[in-house]
A = this chain, B = another copy of it.
Amino acid sequence: MAEQKKLVAEITSMEEDFAQWYTDVVIKAGLIAYSNIKGFMVYKPAGYAIWEAVQKHLDARFKATGVENVYLPMVIPENLLNQEKDLVEGFAPEVAWVTHGGQEELTERICVRPTSETLFSDFYKDEVHSYRDLPKVYNQWCSVVRWEKETRPFLRSREFMWQEGHTVHATAEEAQERTEQMLNVYADFCAEDLAIPTIKGQKTEKEKFAGAIATYTIEALMHDGRALQSGTSHNFGSDFAKAYGIQFTDKDNKLKYAYQTSWGLSTRIIGALIMVHGDNSGLVLPPKIAPTQITIIPIQQRKAGVLEKAREIADLLKDFRVKVDETDKSPGFKFAEQEMHGIPLRVEIGPRDIAENKCIIVRRDTREKISCSIDELPEKVAAILPQMQQDMYDRAKAHLEANTFAAPDKETFVSHFENQLGFVKAMWCGCRECEEKIKEEYGVTSRCIPFKQEKIADTCVYCGKPATKMVYWGKAY
């Protein structure tokens, strides 16, 4: 057990230094390596496998709503980017510019896409002519580049992977429906596949995406009480269509501008998985998306029959994602590794167990040890995995609720953030100035205007004027 202790001891405890705990988990669980190019990361097999699982589940949910995947160029000419001024104001300061192709200087510089609204709009203007061409519900899986100054694995890096959906519709109503539908897809995916509860709501004017008429968000709460914007969905109305000339002849034979949406979820969701479920032994992955669900660890594996039985058990469990750890490390070391990597279950099998035709199942989240006859193992595992998925969600939900507070007045609001983090629900008059003052004075931002409104008080928590909305406030990643 000495080795196990040593391995576990290498992670800083989250109570001591949450940021260092996060970095330790990312590195020790083998998710990421820093590349030698500032701000760019290497996704190692364990990290990329989580992203593959995210893609698989989310893509299936997309396709069930009629989404089709496409792939557009990774570069955008400067002039195309400039056609939409609101957007370029947001991104121009942070794009990577290509100025030379081969030996020649380009006549017009092009940037690596920071996002692809401009490219999709330029594409759609040639594809959409009639109401019969609508809707177009396209998505692409790709990576984008934003020249960030400060970077952290998964949360912020100069290149990150994501999906970006871009749709075109004949009516404003249909665009609004699609915007909300995709936000619900994200929220359901987070809740059901990642066991992460989120708050659904609308961004304020100040926090919305440049160029959108409305931005919707799902906000999750991390272990340390900070918020993480986990997916966004934008309704563009016909602003992009007007800037790029996306017009169609409607059923009434009139030429009209189309309506657009976009929605994205990125690798930062892996940061959420780590910070919602992880503990001081490392990652804890929800069974549904864990690339490996069960590690079988033979005890005294050199003894006759032990490895064979371990493989036999793997075969029994072949309906699950299962691996046998046959390396020559000690069992204690293997336990620590399985915990570090967040594999939901481990099955321990040694000579004594074999003699009794049983084995031990250990849950990663609770460390509960369950003795089980080998014959009943598949049935038992089939029951434990969904239970663990549900328990993980319930705990995350309880944490979210325990760390959400109501502040009817400024005093409560201020004293809360002086002492702790979490979500604070407070009333707002709707004016941008109050929102800016709150950020300036207390260092917290509006996370969203939740769909589920409550009446905490009658007046704005900052200015005291009549309130129009309840807002979630917090410190965010």
| Residues of chain A having any CB pair with chain B under 8 Å | 33, 35-37, 40-45, 48-49, 51-52, 68-77, 80, 93-103, 109-110, 112, 119, 122-123, 126-127, 138, 142-143, 145, 147, 158-159, 161
Q: How far is the CA of A361 from the CA of B76 in the complex (A)?
A: 46
Inter-chain contact B101/A100, CB cutoff 8 Å:
no
Q: Which residues of B contact A103 (CB under 8 A)?
A: 93
Inter-chain contact A48/B35, CB cutoff 8 Å:
no
Kindly provide the distance from the CB of A21 to the nearest chain B CB, expressed in whole angstroms. Answer: 23
Q: How far is the CA of A123 from the CA of B96 in the complex (A)?
A: 23
The 7 closest A-B pairs by CB, nearest first: A40-B73, A45-B68, A43-B71, A101-B147, A97-B100, A102-B147, A99-B99
Inter-chain contact B95/A42, CB cutoff 8 Å:
no
Inter-chain contact B97/A98, CB cutoff 8 Å:
yes
Greatest chain B CB density within 10 A among A41, A99, A161 is at A99
Q: Which residues of B contact A49 (CB under 8 A)?
A: 68-69
Q: How far is the CA of A45 from the CA of B44 in the complex (A)?
A: 30
Q: Which residues of B contact A51 (CB under 8 A)?
A: 71
Inter-chain contact B70/A42, CB cutoff 8 Å:
yes
Q: How far is the CA of A77 from the CA of B38 in the complex (A)?
A: 10
Q: How far is the CA of A126 from the CA of B101 in the complex (A)?
A: 31
Kindly provide the distance from the CB of A125 to the nearest chain B CB, expressed in whole angstroms. Answer: 10
Q: Which residues of B contact A102 (CB under 8 A)?
A: 93-95, 147
Q: How far is the CA of A272 from the CA of B327 in the complex (A)?
A: 43
Q: Which residues of B contact A43 (CB under 8 A)?
A: 70-72
Mind listing 11 A-B residue pairs with CB under 8 Å? A43-B70, A43-B71, A43-B72, A45-B70, A45-B138, A48-B71, A74-B159, A94-B101, A96-B98, A96-B101, A97-B101
Residue of B nearest to A125 (CB): B36
Instruction: Given A43-B71, A96-B98, answer yes or no on A110-B37 (Cβ-Cβ < 8 Å).
Output: yes
Instruction: Given A97-B98, A100-B97, A102-B95, answer yes or no on A37-B73 (Cβ-Cβ < 8 Å).
Output: yes
Inter-chain contact B159/A123, CB cutoff 8 Å:
no
Residue of B nearest to A137 (CB): B45
Inter-chain contact A100/B96, CB cutoff 8 Å:
yes
Known: A36-B80, A99-B100. 7 other contacts (CB 8 A): A35-B73, A42-B73, A48-B69, A52-B69, A74-B74, A74-B145, A94-B101
Inter-chain contact B33/A75, CB cutoff 8 Å:
no
Kindly provide the distance from the CB of A239 to the nearest chain B CB, expressed in whole angstroms. Answer: 20
Inter-chain contact B70/A37, CB cutoff 8 Å:
no
Q: Which residues of B contact A36 (CB under 8 A)?
A: 77, 80, 122
Instruction: Given A35-B123, A98-B97, A101-B147, answer yes or no on A45-B69 (Cβ-Cβ < 8 Å).
Output: yes
Kindly provide the distance from the CB of A376 to the nearest chain B CB, expressed in whole angstroms. Answer: 30
Number of copies of this kind of chain in the complex: 2
Q: Which residues of B contact A143 (CB under 8 A)?
A: 71, 74, 142
Greatest chain B CB density within 10 A among A41, A93, A97 is at A97
Residue of B nearest to A136 (CB): B45
Residue of B nearest to A143 (CB): B74
Q: Which residues of B contact A147 (CB under 8 A)?
A: 101-102
Greatest chain B CB density within 10 A among A103, A109, A161 is at A103
Inter-chain contact A99/B101, CB cutoff 8 Å:
no
Kindly provide the distance from the CB of A419 to the nearest chain B CB, expressed in whole angstroms. Answer: 37
Q: How far is the CA of A341 from the CA of B416 in the complex (A)?
A: 62
Kindly provide the distance from the CB of A121 to the nearest chain B CB, expressed in whole angstroms. Answer: 11
Q: Which residues of B contact A40 (CB under 8 A)?
A: 73-75
Q: Which residues of B contact A99 (CB under 8 A)?
A: 97-100
Q: How far is the CA of A40 from the CA of B116 in the complex (A)?
A: 14
Inter-chain contact A126/B70, CB cutoff 8 Å:
no
Q: How far is the CA of A41 from the CA of B119 in the complex (A)?
A: 11
Q: How far is the CA of A431 from the CA of B420 in the complex (A)?
A: 77
Q: How far is the CA of A231 from the CA of B40 in the complex (A)?
A: 29
Q: How far is the CA of A153 from the CA of B138 in the complex (A)?
A: 20
Inter-chain contact A112/B98, CB cutoff 8 Å:
yes
Q: Which residues of B contact A42 (CB under 8 A)?
A: 70-73, 123
Inter-chain contact A37/B77, CB cutoff 8 Å:
yes
Q: How far is the CA of A122 from the CA of B75 in the complex (A)?
A: 26
Residue of B nearest to A97 (CB): B100
